[in-house]
């Protein structure tokens, strides 16, 4: 009985450790702040970011200071294609789903 109890304990711990917290990475949510963005810049044909003296990046509405309560990767490391945290100061209006980081869509953020 004790052996099976220990086995179930380890199985439960392994499952909890690998669990990813569900997040909404809807590319149509435009916001500012410390966000997860693509590592490389993206084109801003509107010139919004350049006019503000900022660079343009493909970003998602996921905080770069996220702490995974299950002990896995936190911050932007947990998000495929948007692995770089940036302080997004403004965004290009109506830019939801207008850029790509890897295989994922996002909005154009100015940082």
**Cα distances (Å, whole numbers) of residue 39 to 22, 93, 98, 103:** 22, 21, 16, 13
Residues 6+ apart with CB under 8 A from 65: 34, 75, 85
Please tell me the predicted confidence (pLDDT) of residue 2: 54
Intervals of the chain under pLDDT 50 = 3, 5-23
Please tell me the predicted confidence (pLDDT) of residue 25: 63
φ/ψ (deg, to 5) at 50:
-60, -40
Please tell me the predicted confidence (pLDDT) of residue 94: 87
Residues 6+ apart with CB under 8 A from 103: 81
- Joined together, the tokens standing for residue 68 give 């995974």
Which residue is it, tokens 């830019």? 95
> Cα 8 to the chain's mean position, in Å?
33
Please tell me the predicted confidence (pLDDT) of residue 35: 95
Please tell me the predicted confidence (pLDDT) of residue 98: 87
pTM, entire model: 0.74
């Amino acid at each position: 009985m004790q052996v099976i109890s220990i086995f179930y304990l380890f199985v439960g711990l392994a499952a909890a450790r690998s669990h990813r917290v569900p997040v909404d990475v809807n590319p149509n949510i435009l916001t500012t702040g410390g966000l997860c963005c693509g590592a490389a810049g993206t084109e801003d044909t509107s010139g919004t970011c350049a006019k503000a003296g900022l660079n343009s990046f493909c970003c998602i509405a996921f905080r770069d200071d996220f702490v995974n309560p299950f002990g896995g990767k936190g911050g932007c490391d947990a998000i495929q294609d948007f692995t770089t945290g940036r302080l997004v100061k403004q965004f290009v209006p109506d830019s939801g789903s207008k850029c790509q980081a890897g295989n994922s869509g996002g909005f154009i953020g100015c940082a």
